[in-house]
Amino acid sequence: MKIGIDKMAFATTDKYLDLRELARARNVDPDKYTIGIGQDQQAVVPPTQDIVTLAAAAAQKLLTPAAARRISTVIVATESGIDNSKAAAIYVKRLLGLSDFVRTVELKEACYSATAGLQFARGIVALNPQEEVLVIATDIARYGLNTPGEVTQGAGAVAMLVSRDPRVLAIEETSVSLTKDIMDFWRPLYATEALVDGKYSTSVYIDCFKEVLTRYQQLTGRPLADFGALLFHLPFTKMGKKALAAVLGDRTDGTAERLRQALTASQWACRQVGNLYTGSLYLALMSYLQNGDAHRGSRLGLFSYGSGAEGEFFTGILQPQFAENILPLTPALRQRQRVSVTEYERLFDEQLGMNPADVAFTTENDACPFVLTGQQDHQRQYRAN
Ligand code: CAA
């Protein structure tokens, strides 16, 4: 039985920052951001948006009433959770109007956990082929103003329906996971911004990719020529370029050129929103399928990485109806309003974070479909917008 991704949708905030402007404000050469890091724009998060509103916005695009009835389980993958106990999936389930008879859970392992969610969803569908699982990767990447990581911030969610006879990507059996206890990036319970050993994180990412790919190739005997594309977790687009270069070297044959072109297509969306953490790999997949030379029947390799650290390399076969079941990325990106650096800094400081007080946010400037209206008695308040 084929099992995999049946449909995908993406949501981000309605505001963005031009990173050339940020570079000027930080006294940095803009080329460092746009070429050295490989980012042009970044999603700006108003206090009225968080991982719940973004997740619900992405998932709502996928749901017809019939699809909603088939969902047995909602898995929300995030590393920017809003509660240490209650699953964000419960709020999302209510905002989407799903039946009370669903299973809801939140998964955590840095940027990796959506891949765990996808694999767990495969298991649920294998046991109960009539069921579908809604997997949502949702995050706000937040490093702090004036930090080296600031240029790599971002925000957004990718929602995926996992089912039998999937219309986008049938996931194959062989995958390789690798876990090592290291401190490259983490966020203690008392912090709203991540702590990161930036340079170290980029080198362990590459080491992890090479190790899982090598083992995968030992297990399957598949050369790189067997892949239509290699897709990467993209904390910033240059990271994908470094990872691909680590296995291609200076090869210039047809396979190498195809994989480089596919990488460029997969980076298109990340360049405009920044790091989505759990959703980044899946946004790269959507971006490749909408901008690249993708063909039905082609084998795609996906590298998922979460600091701390865990990596997984797995593969899937593109299905004939993939194009119709990847909801367009362009509207979410085109409808955004550009904000100044001053406005971005104000909005950055207004996010709820760990503030225990009652607050009410003004929602009239927020064009997203769901909003966080504030907090009362330590409870976040959400509604459709
Ligand atoms: N023109 C063109 N390029 C320039 C330039 C200029 N004027 N000035 C500098 N550059 C280039 C540098 O040569 C460098 O390129 P290479 O990496 O190819 O050598 C690049 O710009 C970055 O510059 P620095 O080396 O000075 O790096 P930095 O101090 O600005 O930090 C960073 C970069 C480490 C990525 C930092 O932004 C960071 O810590 N980001 C967050 C951590 C992160 O994203 N890690 C990724 C791996 S971990 C992971 O994947 C999980 C996750 O999502 C976090």
Q: Which domains does the chain have, with CATH numbers?
A: 3-168+327-384 (3.40.47.10), 171-320 (3.40.47.10)
- Which one of 152, 237, 304 would you pick to mutate in the ligand 1 pocket, going by the greatest count of ligand atoms within 8 A of its CB? 152
Marked catalytic residue, from 106, 109, 111, 208: 111
Residue nearest to atom 3 of ligand 1 (CA): 36
* Residue 183 tokens, joined: 């401190």
Does ligand 1 come within 6 angstroms of the Cβ of 305?
Answer: yes
Q: Is 111 one of the catalytic residues?
A: yes
Asked whether 196 lines ligand 1 (CB < 6 A), one says yes
Smallest CA separation from ligand 1 atom 17, residue:
36
Residue 138 · residue 273 · CB < 8 Å: no
Q: Pairing relation of β-strands 229-232 and 299-306?
A: parallel
* 350: annotated active-site residue: no
Q: Where are the beta strands (DSSP E) in the chain?
A: 3-11, 15-18, 41-43, 71-77, 103-107, 132-141, 154-164, 169-179, 185-186, 195-196, 229-232, 299-306, 310-318, 337-339, 359-360, 370-376, 379-384
Binding-site residues: 29, 143, 242, 275
Catalytic residue among 233, 270, 310, 368: 233
Residues 143, 168: Cα–Cα separation, whole Å: 34
Ligand 1 close to Cβ of residue 274 (< 6 A): no
Averaged over successive runs of 10 residues, the pLDDT of the chain (385 residues) comes to 98 98 98 98 98 98 94 98 97 98 98 98 98 98 96 98 98 98 96 94 98 98 98 98 97 97 98 98 98 97 98 98 97 95 97 95 94 97 97
Q: What are phi and psi of 255, to 5 degrees?
A: -60, -50
Residue with CA at minimum distance from ligand 1 atom 6: 32
Contact 149 CB / ligand 1 (< 6 Å): yes
Task: Give the global pTM.
Answer: 0.98
User: What pLDDT is stored for residue 253 in this prediction?
Assistant: 97
Q: Residue 197: how many CB atoms within 10 A of its CB?
A: 15
Task: Tell how far the Cα of 307 is from the centroid of ligand 1, in angstroms.
Answer: 16
For a mutational test of ligand 1's pocket, the pick from 22, 197, 202, i.e. the residue with the most ligand atoms closer than 8 A to its C-beta, is 202
Rounded distance between C-alpha atoms, residue 298 and residue 317, angstroms: 6
Cβ 201 under 6 angstroms from ligand 1: yes
- The pLDDT value given to residue 107: 98
- HSE of 340 in the Cβ direction (CA atoms, 13 Å)? 3
> Structure tokens of 186?
């983490």
Q: What is the pLDDT of residue 173?
A: 96
Q: Quote the pLDDT of residue 98.
A: 97
Task: State whether the beta carbon of 29 lies less than 6 angstroms from ligand 1.
Answer: yes
Q: Whose Cα sits closest to atom 39 in ligand 1?
A: 198
Catalytic site residue 368?
A: no
Burial of 282 (0-12, 13-18, 19+ CB in 10 A): buried
